[in-house]
Amino acid sequence: MSAVVGFLASSIGRKVTMALSGLLMFLFLVTHLAANLLVLVDPEAYNEYSHALISNPLIYIAEAGLLALFVAHLISGIAVWRKGQTARSISYRDNRWAGGASHKSLASATMIVTGTFFIIFVPLHILWFKFGTYYDAGNGVRDLHRLVVEEFQDPLLVAFYVVGMAVLGFHLWHGIGSAFESLGVAHRPKVRQAGRMIAVVLAGGFMIIPLVIFFTGGGF
């Protein structure tokens, strides 16, 4: 047991925890986006899909799992950040990025900031949608589509989501490639580039939904 604790508490163990939880949450986001896009194309299918999810008792296990991933990612991320902060008490007067072989970016330099943002975003997101107004679509199916369309008539909420998804894309810009490296997959520029492209596509995909609903008034 102490060997397990020793591994998890080591800086490499923490990076592994952060990478695995991050990648699993990323996979969840892929399915989340795929389902969300149904809002734009087929409201009925969207409602049925969400009904299938929330009426399945396994949803509680899935939710607990997601919460565990979120917390694990948060704790390991903060632990890594803190250990890095304490390793250099006196900073450089003149400090520049090296360029060249380095892939340091504004995204990689702000992971703690973009990550912390989701401590605010995720609870609000769940509050507004999961615990938002319950509309009945008939046959005991929740009309989640109506709620989504109503919520995204508010320009402030749309702006919040667009910014939120930009932050997500920013986090994943560094996060996807970095996670693979933490798990020991040798750095390859192509993997990094693929990670960045996927980050842009995922964030863009999520952003499209509130924007389309807002500008079409939901009447598509």
Residues in touch with another protein (CB under 8 A) = 2-4, 6-7, 10-16, 80, 83-104, 108-109, 111, 174, 177-178, 181-187
C-alpha–C-alpha distance, residues 37 and 220, integer Å: 13
Element spanning 30, H or E: helix 11-36
C-alpha–C-alpha distance, residues 76 and 10, integer Å: 10
Q: Tokens 């923490």 label which residue?
A: 14
Minimum separation from the CB atom of position 216 to another protein (A): 41
Maximum Cα–Cα distance for the chain, whole Å? 67
Strand ranges in 68-175 using DSSP code E only, listed in sequence order: none
Are the C-beta atoms of residues 182 and 133 closer than 8 Å to each other?
Answer: no
Q: Which is nearer to another protein, 80 or 203 (CB)?
A: 80
Minimum separation from the CB atom of position 112 to another protein (A): 10
- What are the residues facing 136 on neighbouring strands? 142
Q: Which is nearer to another protein, 100 or 219 (CB)?
A: 100
Minimum separation from the CB atom of position 115 to another protein (A): 12
Q: Which is nearer to another protein, 106 or 163 (CB)?
A: 106
Q: Which is nearer to another protein, 77 or 205 (CB)?
A: 77
Minimum separation from the CB atom of position 28 to another protein (A): 22
The HSE-up count of residue 206 (CA atoms within 13 Å, CB side) is 23
Q: Which is nearer to another protein, 7 or 215 (CB)?
A: 7
The HSE-up count of residue 43 (CA atoms within 13 Å, CB side) is 13
Are the C-beta atoms of residues 50 and 34 closer than 8 Å to each other?
Answer: no
Q: Which is nearer to another protein, 138 or 184 (CB)?
A: 184
Minimum separation from the CB atom of position 91 to another protein (A): 7
Minimum separation from the CB atom of position 93 to another protein (A): 6
